Amino acid sequence: MRNANAPNHFVFVATPVQSDKGRISSYEIWKVLTEKLVWYTTASAPYRNRIKGGDRIVFYLGGRPGGGSFVAQGLCSGPVAPVTAEDGAFLAEMGITRFSSRIPLLLVIYWLDEVPLKPLVPALTFIRDKKHYGLYLRQGIVPIGQEDFDLIVTQSAQ
Protein backbone atom coordinates (compact mmCIF):
# COMPACT_ATOMS: atom_id res chain seq x y z
CA MET A 1 0.00 0.00 0.00
CA ARG A 2 1.26 3.46 -0.91
CA ASN A 3 2.23 5.86 1.88
CA ALA A 4 -0.13 8.88 1.73
CA ASN A 5 2.72 11.14 2.86
CA ALA A 6 5.08 9.97 0.10
CA PRO A 7 5.53 12.51 -2.68
CA ASN A 8 3.62 12.12 -5.91
CA HIS A 9 5.41 12.61 -9.21
CA PHE A 10 3.99 14.64 -12.06
CA VAL A 11 4.83 16.08 -15.45
CA PHE A 12 3.63 19.67 -15.77
CA VAL A 13 3.08 20.29 -19.47
CA ALA A 14 3.49 23.71 -21.06
CA THR A 15 2.03 24.16 -24.53
CA PRO A 16 1.70 27.29 -26.65
CA VAL A 17 -1.20 29.49 -25.56
CA GLN A 18 -3.26 31.81 -27.69
CA SER A 19 -3.71 34.94 -25.59
CA ASP A 20 -5.58 38.16 -26.19
CA LYS A 21 -2.19 39.59 -27.20
CA GLY A 22 -1.11 36.82 -29.58
CA ARG A 23 0.57 33.45 -29.32
CA ILE A 24 2.80 32.71 -26.35
CA SER A 25 5.30 29.85 -26.78
CA SER A 26 5.50 26.94 -24.38
CA TYR A 27 9.03 28.06 -23.46
CA GLU A 28 7.87 31.58 -22.58
CA ILE A 29 4.95 30.28 -20.49
CA TRP A 30 7.18 27.85 -18.63
CA LYS A 31 9.99 30.33 -18.04
CA VAL A 32 7.76 33.14 -16.76
CA LEU A 33 5.74 30.90 -14.45
CA THR A 34 8.67 29.03 -12.97
CA GLU A 35 10.52 32.28 -12.30
CA LYS A 36 7.46 33.34 -10.28
CA LEU A 37 7.47 29.92 -8.52
CA VAL A 38 3.90 29.21 -9.57
CA TRP A 39 2.07 27.01 -12.06
CA TYR A 40 -1.43 27.84 -13.22
CA THR A 41 -4.15 25.39 -14.09
CA THR A 42 -7.77 25.33 -15.15
CA ALA A 43 -10.61 24.13 -12.95
CA SER A 44 -11.02 21.09 -15.19
CA ALA A 45 -7.36 19.98 -15.17
CA PRO A 46 -7.14 16.29 -14.29
CA TYR A 47 -5.21 15.18 -11.21
CA ARG A 48 -5.02 18.71 -9.80
CA ASN A 49 -6.65 17.62 -6.55
CA ARG A 50 -3.89 15.04 -5.94
CA ILE A 51 -1.16 17.69 -5.71
CA LYS A 52 0.31 18.48 -2.31
CA GLY A 53 3.41 20.06 -0.82
CA GLY A 54 6.53 17.98 -1.44
CA ASP A 55 5.31 16.52 -4.73
CA ARG A 56 8.03 16.28 -7.37
CA ILE A 57 7.63 17.66 -10.88
CA VAL A 58 9.38 17.52 -14.22
CA PHE A 59 8.47 20.27 -16.69
CA TYR A 60 7.76 19.36 -20.31
CA LEU A 61 7.57 21.81 -23.21
CA GLY A 62 5.26 20.63 -25.97
CA GLY A 63 4.08 22.04 -29.27
CA ARG A 64 7.60 22.71 -30.51
CA PRO A 65 9.21 22.01 -33.86
CA GLY A 66 11.20 18.79 -33.65
CA GLY A 67 9.23 17.47 -30.69
CA GLY A 68 8.91 18.20 -27.02
CA SER A 69 11.49 18.10 -24.27
CA PHE A 70 11.79 17.99 -20.51
CA VAL A 71 13.59 21.09 -19.26
CA ALA A 72 13.58 21.25 -15.45
CA GLN A 73 12.49 19.65 -12.23
CA GLY A 74 10.81 21.12 -9.18
CA LEU A 75 8.93 20.74 -5.93
CA CYS A 76 5.41 21.86 -5.04
CA SER A 77 5.10 23.84 -1.83
CA GLY A 78 1.40 23.24 -1.34
CA PRO A 79 -1.86 22.11 -2.88
CA VAL A 80 -3.83 23.78 -5.65
CA ALA A 81 -5.45 27.03 -4.52
CA PRO A 82 -7.54 29.75 -6.19
CA VAL A 83 -5.61 32.42 -8.09
CA THR A 84 -4.85 35.51 -6.02
CA ALA A 85 -5.57 39.10 -7.03
CA GLU A 86 -1.87 39.42 -7.93
CA ASP A 87 -2.12 36.30 -10.10
CA GLY A 88 -5.22 37.70 -11.80
CA ALA A 89 -3.45 40.95 -12.63
CA PHE A 90 -0.40 39.07 -13.96
CA LEU A 91 -2.54 36.78 -16.11
CA ALA A 92 -4.55 39.73 -17.44
CA GLU A 93 -1.30 41.49 -18.35
CA MET A 94 -0.28 38.39 -20.32
CA GLY A 95 -3.71 38.27 -21.94
CA ILE A 96 -4.59 34.85 -20.51
CA THR A 97 -7.89 34.45 -18.73
CA ARG A 98 -8.59 30.71 -18.64
CA PHE A 99 -6.57 29.81 -15.54
CA SER A 100 -8.45 29.77 -12.25
CA SER A 101 -6.10 27.92 -9.92
CA ARG A 102 -2.47 28.13 -8.87
CA ILE A 103 0.04 25.54 -7.72
CA PRO A 104 2.76 27.09 -5.56
CA LEU A 105 6.29 25.90 -6.30
CA LEU A 106 8.99 25.69 -3.67
CA LEU A 107 11.92 25.12 -5.99
CA VAL A 108 12.73 24.84 -9.68
CA ILE A 109 16.01 23.36 -10.90
CA TYR A 110 16.71 24.50 -14.45
CA TRP A 111 18.69 22.00 -16.48
CA LEU A 112 21.63 23.00 -18.66
CA ASP A 113 20.33 20.87 -21.55
CA GLU A 114 16.86 19.83 -22.58
CA VAL A 115 15.98 16.13 -22.47
CA PRO A 116 14.08 15.17 -25.63
CA LEU A 117 11.04 12.97 -25.07
CA LYS A 118 11.32 10.73 -28.13
CA PRO A 119 14.48 8.75 -27.14
CA LEU A 120 12.94 8.01 -23.71
CA VAL A 121 9.58 6.73 -25.00
CA PRO A 122 10.56 3.01 -25.06
CA ALA A 123 11.60 3.13 -21.38
CA LEU A 124 8.82 5.35 -19.94
CA THR A 125 6.14 3.21 -18.31
CA PHE A 126 3.47 5.94 -18.18
CA ILE A 127 3.48 5.88 -22.00
CA ARG A 128 1.79 2.60 -22.84
CA ASP A 129 1.19 3.17 -26.57
CA LYS A 130 4.72 3.81 -27.81
CA LYS A 131 3.54 4.66 -31.33
CA HIS A 132 1.18 7.45 -30.20
CA TYR A 133 3.26 8.68 -27.28
CA GLY A 134 2.31 12.33 -27.73
CA LEU A 135 -1.22 11.58 -26.55
CA TYR A 136 0.08 11.04 -23.01
CA LEU A 137 1.29 14.63 -22.72
CA ARG A 138 -1.77 16.47 -24.03
CA GLN A 139 -3.06 17.42 -20.59
CA GLY A 140 -1.48 19.99 -18.31
CA ILE A 141 -0.80 17.63 -15.41
CA VAL A 142 0.31 14.03 -15.94
CA PRO A 143 0.94 11.65 -13.04
CA ILE A 144 4.01 9.45 -13.41
CA GLY A 145 5.77 6.88 -11.26
CA GLN A 146 8.96 7.53 -9.37
CA GLU A 147 10.86 5.27 -11.80
CA ASP A 148 9.86 7.42 -14.78
CA PHE A 149 10.64 10.59 -12.83
CA ASP A 150 14.09 9.27 -11.90
CA LEU A 151 14.80 8.18 -15.49
CA ILE A 152 13.96 11.62 -16.86
CA VAL A 153 15.95 13.49 -14.19
CA THR A 154 18.96 11.17 -14.66
CA GLN A 155 19.02 12.06 -18.36
CA SER A 156 19.32 15.75 -17.47
CA ALA A 157 22.74 15.12 -15.93
CA GLN A 158 24.26 13.39 -18.94
Q: What secondary structure does DSSP assign to 88-145, as a single string?
A: HHHHHHHT-----EEEEEEEEEEEEEEEESGGGGGG-TT---STTGGGGGSSSEEEE-
- H or E segment at 157? none
| The residue type at 89 | A
Going by pLDDT thresholds of 50, 70 and 90, the confidence category of residue 68 is very high
Is residue 64 domain-resident? yes
Q: Is it the case that residue 34 has pLDDT exceeding 90?
A: yes
% pLDDT > 70, the chain: 96
Pairing of strands 69-76, 38-41: unpaired
Is residue 2 domain-resident? no
Domain housing 64: 9-156
Q: Decide: helix, strand or coil at residue 10.
A: strand
Is residue 151 domain-resident? yes
Is residue 67 domain-resident? yes
CATH number of the domain enclosing 22: 3.10.590.10
Q: Is it the case that residue 54 has pLDDT exceeding 80?
A: yes
Is residue 38 domain-resident? yes
User: Measured between alpha carbons, how far is 67 from 84 in angstroms, rounded to an integer?
Assistant: 34
Q: How many domains does the chain have?
A: 1
pLDDT of amino acid 2: 58
> pLDDT tens digit string along 86-114?
999 999 988 888 899 999 999 999 999 99
Q: How far is CA 119 from the centre of its chain?
A: 19
Is residue 139 domain-resident? yes
**Number of C-beta neighbours around residue 122 at 10 A:** 9
- Of 84, 57, 53, 79, nearest to 148 (Cα)? 57
